[in-house]
Amino acid sequence: MKTVCLNFQVSLPMTLKRYRFFSMGLDHNYLDDTANRYATQRAARMSYLPMNALVASLIGEYGDKFKVSFTIDGITIEQLKAHAPEVLASMKELAKTGCVEFVGTTYAHSLASLTDKSEFEKQVKAHKKAIEKEFGVSPKTFCNTDMIYSDGIGEMTGELGYQTILTEGARHILGWKSPNYVYAGAVNQRQKVMLRNYKLSDDLTFKFSCKEWCEWPLTAGKYAEWIEGSTGETVNISVDYSTFGMTNEAPSGIFEFFKALPEAIMSRGMEFDTLAGSADKHQPVGVLSCPYPISWTDEERDVTAWLGNELQNEAFSKLYGLKAKVAKLNNPDFNYVWNFMQQASNFYYMASRWLGSSQGNTPFDSSYDAFINYMNILSDFDLELDAQLAAKKPASRAKKAAAEK
C-alpha cells in the first residue's frame, strides 16, 4: 500500500534589530522584539492556530488513520512560548493523540552541520530535550535545517541515534531514481533516507493560489490522483507550515483543500503515516550517495544560499571562531545569543541575490546592510565575551585563594 507522509516545517527565525556601531559596548539587546512578536502572532493567527485545529479535527474524525509530522526547531519553540503560547498548547494536545510525529532538527535552525560536528551534536541533543520537555515524545526521525544533507551529515545523525532522515529529493543526486522510495545512507547503510517529493510539495506551496497555473484550481481529488499515479511506495510531502493560511491565504481555499485531502487519499487505497512509520514499513531499494551537501533551497538545491559569497563566509567563520569562548563562559544569557546568532536566516539575508537590493524580501536593504548589521552585533558579542571572561578569572582565583585559606 502506498504511504503518504505529510511533514510540516515550523520555523520562525528571530530577527536581529538594527544595530549601529555606536551601540557597541553599550547595548547588548540584539533582537527586534517588535518584529518578532508581530511575525509570530501573525503566523499563529493566520496559519498555525487554524491549521492545528484542523489537524486535530481530522484526527478526531479518522483516528490513527490520519497522521502528520512536524519539524519545529528550538528557537521557534522559544518564540511561540514568548509570543503565542496558545500555539504550543494546541501542539501539545496534538502530541497527546499519538498521531503526530515530532522530527528532530537543530535547536537553532543553524548551519552547524556544515562546519562543526560537536556544535551540531550539541544542538541536536538540545533540540531533542526541548521536544521531550514540551511534547513528551522523543523524535525518531531527523530533518536537518532546511533539509541540508550529505553522506557525512547522515553519518553524524546516525551516531546520534536517528535511524531515519528526511532530505530533499534533489534531482542531481537522484538522477533517474524516484524520490518515492526509501533509500539507505551511503556510510551508515542501516539508516533510512526519506526523500521529499519537491514537485508535489511545491505545487501546494507555490502554485495552489496561482490562477495562471494550468491546473488551477487544485482540488484534493486531483492532488490525490497525482499521488496515486506516481510510482513508488512512500510519497513524502514536506512544506512550510505557513503554506496553509499565509503563503496561500484562507480565501484561496487551502484549508478546505486540506480538510478534504484525507478522504481523497484513503478512498484511493492509500494510507497516511509518519516518516518513521513509513520508513519501518518499506525496505530500502538502494543506496543513495550524496558527497556534497544538498538542501531544499533554490533551483540548485545546494548551500550557496547561506554560504555562497565572501560576506557569508566571513560572517560564518567569525561566528564559529567564538565557539570556544562561549563554551568557556557557559553563561545562559550568552548561550541564548550564541544560539540565535547561528540561525541560517542571518546568512540567508547576506545572499548574493540581495547584493543589489533585497526589494523587501529580507528585513535589510541589501546583503551589505545585513552583513554590516550582523558583524556589528557579533563584534559587540565578542567584546562582551572577553569582558565577562576577564571578570570571571579573578573571581575564580579569589575563590581558590579563599578555599586555600
Partner 1 sequence: MRVLMFGWEFPPHIAGGLGTACYGLTRGLARNDVKVTFVVPRAYGDEDQRFTNIVNASDVETDFCRRDEYTKEVWENLSYITIDSNMVPYATPEEYFERREEWLKQRETGVIQDSWQQRYTFSGKYGANLMEEVQRYAMVAAEVAKAEAGNFDVIHAHDWLTYYAGIAAKNVSGKPLVVHIHATDFDRSGAINPDSPVYQIEKAGMSAADKVIAVSNLTRNICIEKYDIDADKIVTVHNAVRFASNTPDYGERGVKQKIVTFLGRITFQKGPDYFVEAAAKVLKRLPDVHFVMAGNGDMFNHVIRRVAKLGIADRFHFTGFLKGDDVQKMFAMSDVYVMPSVSEPFGISPLEAMREGVPVIISKQSGVAEVLDYAVKVDYWDVDAMADAIYALVQYPAMAEMFGLKGYDEVTRLKWNNAAAKIKAVYESVL
Residues contributing to the site for partner 1 (CB under 8 A): 20-27, 310-311, 313-315, 317-318, 321, 355, 368, 371-372, 375-376, 378-380, 382-383
Strands 192-196 and 183-185: antiparallel
> CB of 366: closest distance to partner 1 in angstroms?
8
Min dist. Cβ of residue 369 to partner 1 (A):
8
Distances (CA, A) of 336 to 75, 128, 321, 339: 10, 17, 17, 5
Q: What's the per-residue H, E or C state across 328-378?
A: HHCCHHHHHHHHHHCEHHHHHCCCHHHCCCCCCCCCCCCHHHHHHHHHHHH
Using the minimum distance from each CB to partner 1, give the nearer residue, 146 or 380. Answer: 380
Q: Give strand ranges (E) for 104-214.
A: 141-142, 164-168, 183-185, 192-196
Residues forming beta bridges with residue 185, ordered by sequence position = 288
Cβ nearer to partner 1, comparing 4 with 329: 329
Comparing CB distances to partner 1, the nearer of 237 and 378 is: 378
Q: How far apart are CA 272 and CA 278, in angstroms?
A: 9
Q: What are phi and psi of 322, to 5 degrees?
A: -90, -5
> Are residues 329 and 385 in contact, defined by beta-carbon separation less than 8 angstroms?
yes
Residue with smaller CB distance to partner 1, 126 or 389: 389
Residue 329 C-beta: closest distance to partner 1, Å: 17
Residue 380 beta carbon to partner 1: minimum distance, rounded to whole angstroms: 8
Q: Which is nearer to partner 1, 264 or 311 (CB)?
A: 311
Which residue, 226 or 368, has its beta carbon nearer to partner 1? 368
Pairwise CA distance, residues 156 & 20, whole Å: 39
Identity of the residue, 243 or 346, whose beta carbon is nearer to partner 1 in the bound complex: 346
CB of 357 to partner 1, least distance (A): 9
Q: Helix, strand, coil: what percent of the chain each, to 5? A: 55, 15, 35
Least distance from C-beta 116 to partner 1, angstroms?
A: 18
We find the least distance from the C-beta atom of residue 317 to partner 1, in angstroms, to be: 7
Nearer to partner 1, 22 or 176 (CB): 22
Give the integer Cα–Cα distance in Å for 224 and 235.
11
CA–centroid distance for 51 within its chain: 18
Least distance in angstroms from the C-beta of 194 to partner 1: 37
